[in-house]
Structure 1
Amino acid sequence: MAAELKVEQEFSKVIRERRSVRKYDPSWKISDEEIKELLAEATLAPSSSNLQPWRFIVITDQEIKGKLLPVAFNQAQVTEASAVIAVLGDTEAYSNAEAIYGHASANGLMPEDVAAAMAKRSREGYSSLPKEKLEDIALVDGGLVSMQLMLAARARGYDTVPMGGFDPAGLKELFQISDRYIPVMLIALGKASVEGRPTGRLPLEEIAYWNGFQA
């Protein structure tokens, strides 16, 4: 019980200490291996039918950051942070259904016939949806994986800021991203040179309703 309480307290601390940091120490670098570990933890996030539509572009090269800077409306954290991670959503994630469910079956997570049926149902169901609905799904799932990435970073002592202020068309042009993928957000990752400011939140009584809604 004491161990469970400690874990709960540590998780609560991570949530409360996460800040949106916009000023980073440019001399501090995070290794590719550490970034891979963070991304691996982030991708444990849930997604619609477990199709995992997220894709990531990890930008650590200073020259490429310089090209990204005007796309991100010249926000300094783009060049100062150790890395910038562009989160994309795959609107054709259903094309990976067989591989995803096949992997689950191979690892004993579900029977082979169940995996095959779920893969077929996912591919047929999602491929029939309009592009706008597939984009909505990719954006929701992209938001889930992005939040998990930021919390995983905070748990390891790193700082982040989610950036919605950028030119999606410019990002797609810079990295030659096809229309299959939609930009979700940019996330700066590094070590703060100036701590992010604490921010207030609306009282729970004003935003949460039980068994009904009163706006």
Structure 2
Amino acid sequence: MKEATKIFDRLVQERRSVRIYDQEAPFDDEAVQRSIERAVLAPNSSNMQLWEFYRVKSDEAKKQVAWMCMNQKAAKTARELVVVVARRDLWRKRQKVLVQEMKRVYPDAKSKQAQRAMNYYRNLIPKYYWSDWFDLWGFLKKCIYFFVGLKRPMVRHGNRTDIRISVHKSAALAAQNFMMSMKAEGYDTCPMEGMDSLRIKRFLRLPRKAEIVMVIGCGPSAEGGIYSERFRIPNEEVIFRV
């Protein structure tokens, strides 16, 4: 086994959802910044990077957000809270940036690679992310995909709900990067979904279409921070070979 593999295996084995944090232990809050910077290196759909990360640092802000997280101990005792936000509404802004990036990556605009990349970001991305008020375009796409899919493999997701799920999945991948990085830094984390997402959105002054993915508490673990031994469904019930 390679040394890097051993290190990663140890991180995976040691990472646990810690629900009580030590208020007196040393805590380098720059580890949070470094971990977020690693989080944004996560794979994501079409490299659109439709995510944002908010660091909740002050005592008063943490107190308010912890209350919005149902006063879970993982939130109340965290040395810092990180709110992961899905920003499907920023797709146009990201698209423009990526079009410019493709021009840089493929200086020969007439090459097949350049034309393929530009067509993807200029034409296909808007068709995928754009949505009308009643999501009729999404319904039409699903119908098109269904009939095309009768003859060949076809992407099936395309309505507003599908796109929301896709953006949340990408943000969750980044969140996992963040938590693994924090473990590598010597600290613990706990992702929380039990929260009043509407109140947190208002507290962070986020636009209507922004969506809270999760709140992550982090810091040095306190005694009793891990509630029980790890339990997982047996591998043979969840891992299959075809």
TM-score bucket (shorter structure):
0.7 to 0.9
Structure 2 gaps of 5+ residues are: 132-137, 139-158
Find the aligned partners of 2:2 and 2:130 in 1 and give their Cα distance: 44
Structure 1 segment 101-140 matched on structure 2, within 5 A:
101-103=99-101, 105-106=103-104, 108=105, 110-111=106-107, 113=109, 114=114, 115-120=117-122, 121-128=124-131, 129=138, 130-140=159-169
Residue matched to 2:78: 81
Find the aligned partners of 2:19 and 2:164 in 1 and give their Cα distance: 28
Cα displacement string for residues 183-212 of structure 1 (whole angstroms, at most 9, x for unaligned residues): 10000011001252431211111112222x
Structure 1 segment 39-50 matched on structure 2, within 5 A:
39-50=36-47
Q: Of the candidates 28, 31, 36, which is equivalent to residue 30 of structure 1?
A: 28
- State TM-score, norm by structure 2: 0.77
Residue matched to 2:241: 210
Counterpart code for 1:188 = G
Cα displacement string for residues 84-132 of structure 1 (whole angstroms, at most 9, x for unaligned residues): 00101011242112213524653x4x44642533321323332255432
Find the aligned partners of 2:192 and 2:107 in 1 and give their Cα distance: 41
Q: Answer whether contact 2:20 2:222 (CA < 8 A) is retained.
A: yes
Return the index of the structure with the highest Cα Rg.
2
Residue matched to 2:211: 182
Structure 1 gaps of 5+ residues are: none
Q: Answer whether contact 1:54 1:89 (CA < 8 A) is retained.
A: yes
Q: How many residues are paired up?
A: 205
Answer with 80-89 or 70-79: which moved more: 70-79
- State TM-score, norm by structure 1: 0.86
Residue matched to 2:149: none
Measured on the aligned residues, the alpha-carbon RMSD in Å equals 2.0
Counterpart code for 2:42 = A
Identity among equivalent positions (%) equals: 24
Residue matched to 1:201: 232
Distance 1:189 1:104, change over 3 A: farther
